Structure 1
Amino acid sequence: MDSVLKDCRNKMEKAVSSLEKEFSKLRTGRASTGILEDIAVDYYGTMTPLNQLASISVPDSRTITIQPWDRNAFGSVEKAIMKSDLGLNPVNDGKIIRISIPPLTEERRKELAKLAKRYTEDAKVAIRNIRRDANESLKKMKNSKELTEDEMHKGQDEVQKLTDSFVEKTDQVLETKEKEIMEI
C-alpha cells in the first residue's frame, strides 16, 4: 500500500510541476526567459532549441536579450522568434538581439487568465486520473488478498487526502499566476 501511495504522490507532484512549467511559458507583462523555452531555430538544417545556441538573459523587467554564440545564427534566431506565436519583435544590432516586451492589453490579460484556468483544469483532471488509478490498484490488492477491506479503505482515504491537497496546490499556483497576469 505504501508503494501505491508513494507512486500516487510522485505522479501528482509531476502534474503540478508540469502545470508550473506551462505557466512559465505564458507571457505576462514581465520579461521571462521561460517564454522562449519552446522556440526551435533552424541551425544549419537542424531544428535546435534556442537555449542551446545562445545565452538568454533578462536585463530588466521589459527586455530579453539573446546572444547567439555563432554570428551566423543571428538571422535564424530572429526568424524563429518572429515565426513563434508570441507576438514579439526582435531587434538585432549585430552583437545582441533585444526583445522588448510590450505591456499587455486588458483583453490579452483576460485571454491569458482563461488559458491559465484551462491549464489548471487539465492538471486537476490528471490528478483525478492518478487518484482513480491508485484506487484501482488498492482494489486489486484487496482482491488478491494483499490488503484487508479496512486497509483498502484507509488507503483510499489517504489517496483522497493527497488528491485534495494537490488540487489545492494547483489552485494556489493558478491564483499566483492570475495575479501576475493581471498586474499592470
Structure 2
Amino acid sequence: MSDDIPGILKDAESKMSKSIEVTKDEFTAIRTGRATAAMFQGIDVEYYGAPTPLNQLASLQFPEARTVIVTPYDKTATTAVETALRESDLGVNPTNNGDNLRVVLPALTEERRRDYIKLAKNKAEDGRVAIRGSRGNAKKAIEKLVKDKEIGEDEGTRAEKELEALTKKHIEQIDEALAAKETELATV
C-alpha cells in the first residue's frame, strides 16, 4: 500500500475494478440458452493426478446453439474429461463417441433459470464483498496516516468520503452487470 492518500485511493480503485472484472467473468460462465466456451472455463479434469483446465486437454466445437463437441487431444483422457463434464455444475450428460464427446445442453427449465439467477446473485455478492474488503484495507491505511499524524483529521475524513464514493460506484457497476445477467437468464 502507498503512504499517501492519492496512492491509497488509486490502489483501492484498481483492486475494486479487478473485483468487477472477476465477477463479470464468473457471470459469463453461468449458462444461458446458448453454449459458449466461457461455460467450460472453470472445469478442471483430473489428468495424471493433477487438476488440469479442460481447455488445455481438449478442443471445443459448437456445431449448434446447444451442442458442443469436446475432442480430447490425448485419447486416454477421454474418460477423465467425460467424468469432469458430468460432475460439473452444467447439468450435462456427455455421450462418448470414441474419438470425442458430444454434449447436448438441456433446455433451461424455469426452475433451472431460477437456480442460475440465484447463482448469479451469489457471485455478485462475492464481488461486493471483495470491493468492501478493498475499501476496508484502504480505510485502515487512511486511519493509520491520521493516527501517525502524517495527515490531518480533515484530510483523512475527505479521503474516506472519496473512498466511499469509489466503493458506491463500483458496487453499482456490479449491480448493473447482475441486472443484465438476470434479464439474459430470464428471457426464454
What is the TM-score normalised by the length of structure 2?
0.88
Instruction: Mark the runs of 5 or more structure 2 residues left unpaired by the alignment.
Output: none
Residue number among 162, 167, 172 corresponding to 2:166 in the alignment: 162
Match of 1:40 among 18, 33, 44: 44
Find out whether 1:16 has 2:20 as its counterpart: yes
Aligned equivalents of 1:157 and 1:44: distance in 2? 52
Per the TM alignment, residue 108 of structure 1 is displaced from its structure 2 partner at its CA by 1.2
Residue number in structure 2 paired with 1:182:
186
Query: Gaps spanning 5+ residues in structure 1: where?
Result: none
* TM-score, normalised via structure 1 length: 0.90
User: What amino acid maps onto 1:50 in structure 2?
Assistant: L
Number of residue-to-residue matches in the alignment: 184
Instruction: Say yes or no: does 1:52 pair with 2:70.
Output: no
1:43 & 1:139 partners in 2: Cα distance? 49
* Superposed displacement of residue 166, structure 1: 0.3
Q: Identity percentage over the alignment?
A: 42
Q: Compute the displacement of 1:25 (Å).
A: 2.4
**Residue equivalent to 1:129:** 133
CA contact (8 A) 1:36 1:50 kept: yes
- CA RMSD in angstroms comes to 1.8
Letter in 1 for 2:132: R
Change (3 A) 1:2 1:57: farther
Partners of 1:17 and 1:30 lie apart in 2 by 22
1:39-73 CA deviation, whole Å, 9 max, x = no partner? Answer: 22232343322111111233432122212112222
Shift of 1:103: 1.2
Q: How far apart in 1 are the matches of 2:138 and 2:40?
A: 36
